Each structure stands twice: as structure tokens, then as C-alpha cells.
Structure 1
């Protein structure tokens, strides 16, 4: 019985953690993605090459990377290693990689 209780407790904890991470994932609406892509096309940003930086959710972007404000979008945009990313201006963490 004790093993079963531990297993159930572990599953509940894992489920709670998964829900917490799911809340942190930023998913832009299609129209917001369009706004970002049009902005980058009209206002080309030079790509910054950062060796060793893995472009994934939660990766920290160095302060030296220029973050540009996009109208009507909470996050800032940058082009790193030829990929457009959205960055939280307060934490400098990548919140979305646009493909």
C-alpha cells in the first residue's frame, strides 16, 4: 500500500509540474505571428551569431543582443543565428522560436 501511495503522489506531482510548465509556454495567435513576420520583413534585423546558444524556450539571450519592439506584441524580437525569436524583455529569455 505504501508503494502505491508513493507512486500516486509522484504522478500527482509530475502532473502539477507539467501544468505549471504548460502555463509558461507562449503561443502566438496566427495573426500575431503574421505581425511579427511582416515587421521583420519590413524592418530587417541583422542576425547575431551566438555560438553555443541553443535556441529553445527558456534560453537566456545576452544583453548585447538588440531586442526590437513589435507593435501590439508584448515580447521583443531578435534574429539570432538566422532564426527569429521572441524574447521576454524583462528576463531576456526566449519565449518562442518562429519557424
Structure 2
């Protein structure tokens, strides 16, 4: 009978033809990390893998940092910057050497079990929404300090990260104590977001 953890993985994993011959690369976790049910920080965690754990790497989503692995009896998704692969006798971080390592490409589609045939797009398939006018924000230094001290995983989205752009509903924004705006990291750029309209009001560059 499938384990409870595997039942959480409602996604469908498809190996691209280029990656079939190279599936199941050996990798090692470079830090303690959360293994998630889907390719994004908004997905629930399956569990935590400790630093130095041996893992089997199925592949990564093209244009994204998210990779599918088997580790310590768990199967799920992690950020490529948390994995290393041996190359010429030396460990290298998957994110930094993706192309030269020949990491297989995988795709992900999350199905909705309550609606037959419906498919919810992953963050990598979504576009940043339309741009509209917003109030100009000049965040205090304390806000930047808080964001720096409380980092979050980056969310990958297609489109320009600009003030006024609307974030998809699937993107989880994070509250800043005693401040009107929330924050999230999009394509490795921290941004402030109006939690009511979900529009970007400031981009840290």
C-alpha cells in the first residue's frame, strides 16, 4: 500500500526524452532542507532531509531551480541550490552547474482530485499579471533588514518583475510585522507586495 507521504504527491512527473537515459543521478544534500510535494515554496512539506543525505535525482524543471528527488524514503521537490553532484571527483552544486552536469529535464502538472481532467499550472507556467498604478512606497531600512534576516525560497515566474505587476494567487506572500506590506522573492529579486491587491509596490535591486 502506498505510504502517506507518496499519497501527498498528486503531481504527475514526466521525464523528457533527453533525460530518460540519465534518470536517477546520485546527489547529496548540502544543507538541511524541506522536501515538498510540488516545485515551489507554497507546496506542503513531505518531511525534512538532513545535510549530507544521499539522494536520487530524477531531474529538474527547465528554467527553474526545482528538482525531483528520492531521499531518506521521501519523494518530492527541492531547490537545486541545496543539492550537489560529484563531477571529476569533486562535489558541485547542481544549480551552478546544471548544463554541464547533463541533469535530466522533468515537467510537473498538479491535478485537482476533485475535478476530472482539470490541471492547475505550476508557478513556472504562470505569468506575472497585468501592471497597474500603485502608491509609491519608500520602505524603511528596517524592512530590508527583516527581509534579509528572514529569507524565503525564490518563486519563478515568467514576465517582468516591476512595480505594479500582479502576482498570481498561487504565490504565497509573507507578512512583515508592524508593516502594511508583505514580501516574497520573485526570480531572485525580493519584492514588497500589497497583500490586498497582490500588486508589487517595491522591487529590491
Does the TM-score normalized on the shorter chain lie above 0.5?
yes
Normalising by the smaller structure, the TM-score range is 0.5 to 0.7
**2:131 is the alignment partner of 1:26:** no
Higher helix share: 1
**2:153 is the alignment partner of 1:46:** yes
Cα displacement (A) at 1:25 = 3.4
Q: In the aligned structure 1, how far is the partner of 2:201 from the partner of 2:142? A: 16
Cα displacement (A) at 1:77 = 0.4
Partner of 1:11: none
Q: Which runs of 5+ in 1 are unaligned?
A: 1-20
State the Cα deviation string for residues 42-86 of structure 1 (Å, max 9, x = none).
2111110112x2111211101111111112221110100000111
TM-score, normalised with respect to structure 2: 0.33
The secondary structure found in structure 2 opposite 1:63 is: coil
The secondary structure found in structure 2 opposite 1:61 is: coil
Higher strand share: 2
Give the 4+ runs in structure 1 shifted more than 6 A. Answer: none
* Count of aligned pairs between the two proteins: 73
Q: In the aligned structure 1, how far is the partner of 2:166 from the partner of 2:195? A: 11
What is the CA RMSD across the aligned residues, in angstroms? 1.5
Q: Which runs of 5+ in 2 are unaligned?
A: 1-132
Q: In the aligned structure 1, how far is the partner of 2:184 from the partner of 2:163? A: 14
Q: Which has the higher contact order (CA 8 A, sep 6+)?
A: 1
Partner of 1:7: none
